[in-house]
Amino acid sequence: MAGPMRIRAAEADGVTTVRVLMSHVMEPGTRRDGAGNLVPAHYITDVEATHNGKTVLKCEWSGAVSQNPFLAFKFKGAAKGDKVVVKWVDNKGESRTDEATIS
């Protein structure tokens, strides 16, 4: 299982900037190991961020995203002290959900 996400969220002038560092192997399934065997695919497929239960970001990824991906996005309508929740699901059905308080 992947480690916790590092999430930073800051509000300034009505715009909240969220930065997320995810811990995941993001193996595309096209690489071979030392014995020449394909390393099985294992990558994040879906990412969703919510603020007060409302989706503010939703995206679909493939094996083309690098290991330990970094994601940054902005949205309007949040206040300092609110929570931002980020969740991902991978192609093996594993998932991770973490949250951060907006500063």
pTM of the prediction? Answer: 0.93
Per-residue model confidence as pLDDT tens digits over 17-64: 999 999 999 999 999 999 999 999 999 999 999 999 999 999 999 999
One-letter amino acid identity for 5? M
Distance CA(63)–CA(10), nearest Å, equals: 30
Delineate the domains of the chain, giving CATH numbers in brackets. 6-101 (2.60.40.10)
Q: Of the candidates 94, 44, 91, which has an alpha carbon nearest to the alpha carbon of residue 69?
A: 44
Which residues pair with residue 87 across a beta bridge? 48, 97
Q: What is the dihedral of CA 19, 25, 30, 35, to 10 degrees?
A: 160
Quote the mean pLDDT of the chain.
96
Pairing of strands 83-90, 44-51: antiparallel
